[in-house]
Amino acid sequence: MVDVKEEFDKNTGAELTDSDIERARQLIGVDTASKYHEHISTASYDAIRNFAFGVGDDNPLYTTEEYGQNTRWGGQIAPNSMSQIIGYPMQGDPMPEHAKKAAKSLFKGIHVFVSGGTTDWYRPIYPGDRLFSYNGEESLDVKNSEFAGRSVVKVRRDVKVNQRGEVVSVHRILSVLTERKTAKDRGKYSAIEPASYTDADIEKIDAVYAAEKRRGAETRFFEDVAVGEQLPAMAKGPLTVTEVIGFHSGGYGHVPYGLKASRLAYQNRKRIPAFYIKNELGVPDVAQRLHWDSEWAKAIGNPMAYDYGVMRETWFHHYLTDWGGDDAFVVRQQDSMRKFNYQGDVQFLSGEVVGKREENGLFLVDLTMKMTNQRDVETSFGEATIALPSREHGATLLPEVPADIARTATQMWQRHLEITDEKRRAPKA
């Protein structure tokens, strides 16, 4: 048997260097077409349903083909939050030489946490929609944390465009990069005890689930919403390995690293060996396994395995769509994950209406939300804006894409079409 902690010490001594930080700064403002083919590249009836189920959402607007035909959408649509996991390779010009050089082996062996982000949505996703993306770094800051000492906090902008060239979403991803060994040695969270539940505890959680109500076809009108209104409670968890597997089954898994099997895992291990570290059986396995392997999570300074930040982002979105109903459109969601959500933890969601306004023909409601675990610790918080239908003015409108984003997206999409056409016309070898 292999000692996982020894294997950790042997393979995870990577440090955040001034050189890497300086190289990362050179990538700010460089937009590049994404060449990654994600697990889901095209929304389908099944893919949309499976994503909703992986989030714990049973809304028939997402999970059936027929229900949506009688809604304002005219058919099945996806939860807006699904936009961030759909991706088909976008054609584009190569990354500038200076940026390509700066990006090579950048932050190799450094751990990355998704700590939140902000997403603006502009169009719904229908079955058959294929999403392409381009992205670039927007900002980078160096900070000190109790968890892992010096860390890098960066924001990447990811713009998703559908096959009609329409901007579907702009996702700004907040990531924290830390040294794995420093986090392990400091052991900030090592004293946290695993959760345990009596039958009575589970009954209390079940009571929250039983009381949850999806607004659905009962239209929530702008005029009927009051500032100060409290959103009903929602529960997520307790977190299990099964729930993490369900989230992956719904389509989550970033392809450049991701979950690979057999020969593909071997090929990936040869491509990025620093991402693979032996488990207790001596088998090279992904560093990503800390989301289901508590022994590995302990080796890097956490008491047990924990969820993905993206999971809680989708849970917040589920909370919003349950409240808003089928006619609503989530325009923006901003969220922050400040504490870990460990295996065994349950998250209780709450929220409040903090404002309402008419803007550019849209009737908008602003909300705040948070998640609190069974230890009464707030782990996540967020803000959101939802467009609702108006009794007086009619159905929900879709927001306009900001001029600067629209201009760049048009340029990137036109270049994609040009290169695609050039490749189609090129003589076959």
User: Is the pLDDT score of 157 beyond 90?
Assistant: yes
The pLDDT of residue 183:
57
More confident position, 105 or 300: 105
Mean pLDDT on 354-376:
97
More confident position, 175 or 59: 59
Which residue matches tokens 């409108």?
A: 397
Which residue matches tokens 């906090």?
A: 153
The pLDDT of residue 4:
64
Q: Which of 10, 297, 263 lies closest to 288 in space, CA to CA?
A: 297
219-233 tens-digit pLDDT:
999 999 999 999 999
Query: Percent of the chain at pLDDT above 90?
Result: 75
The mean pLDDT value of the chain amounts to 92
User: Is the pLDDT score of 143 beyond 70?
Assistant: yes
Per-domain boundaries in the chain: 17-43+78-178+401-429
The pLDDT of residue 287:
85
The pLDDT of residue 106:
87
The pLDDT of residue 299:
80
22-79 tens-digit pLDDT:
999 999 999 999 988 899 999 999 999 999 999 999 999 999 999 999 999 999 999 9
The pLDDT of residue 315:
98
The pLDDT of residue 302:
86
d(CA 201, CA 152): 39
The pLDDT of residue 255:
62
Residue 276 phi/psi, 5-degree rounding, is: -115, 125
Mean pLDDT on 130-159:
89
The pLDDT of residue 230:
98
278-330 tens-digit pLDDT:
988 999 999 889 999 998 888 877 899 999 999 999 999 999 999 999 999 99
How far are the Cα atoms of 109, 212, 247 from residue 233, in angstroms, in the given order? Answer: 40, 7, 22
User: Is the pLDDT score of 417 beyond 80?
Assistant: yes
The pLDDT of residue 11:
59
Q: Which of 3-7, 95-99, 335-339, 423-427 has the lowest mean pLDDT?
A: 3-7
188-244 tens-digit pLDDT:
677 889 999 999 999 999 999 999 999 999 999 999 999 999 999 999 999 999 999
Other C-beta atoms lying within 10 Å of the C-beta of residue 98: 12
* Burial 400-428, CB ≥16 within 10 A → b, else e: ebeeeeeeebeebbebbeeeeeeeeeeee
Residue 165, token pair as written in the block: 């060239």
The pLDDT of residue 274:
81
d(CA 223, CA 265): 54
CATH of domain 17-43+78-178+401-429: 3.10.129
3-state secondary structure the chain: CCCHHHHHHHHCCCCCCHHHHHHHHCCECCCEECCCCCCECECCHHHHHHHHHHHCCCCHHHHCCCHHHHCCCCCCCCCHHHHHHECECCCCCCCCHHHHHHHCCCCCCCEEEEEEEEEEECCCCCCCCEEEEEEEEEEEEEEEECCCEEEEEEEEEEEEEECCCCEEEEEEEEEEEECHHHHHHHCCCCCCCCCCCCHHHHHHHHHHHHHCCCCCCCCCCHHHCCCCCEEEEEEECCCCHHHHHHHHHCCCCCCCCCCCCHHHHHHHHHHCHHHEEECCCCCEEEHHHHHCCHHHHHHCCCCCCECCHHHHHHHHHHHHHHHHCCCCEEEEEEEEECCCCECCCCEEEEEEEEEEEEECCEEEEEEEEEEEECCCCEEEEEEEEEECCECCCECCCCCCCCHHHHHHHHHHHHHHHHHHHHHHHCCCC
More confident position, 145 or 123: 123
Residue 209, token pair as written in the block: 């689930």
Q: Which of 420, 340, 97, 60 lies closest to 216 in space, CA to CA?
A: 60
Mean pLDDT on 91-116:
87
User: Is the pLDDT score of 107 beyond 60?
Assistant: yes
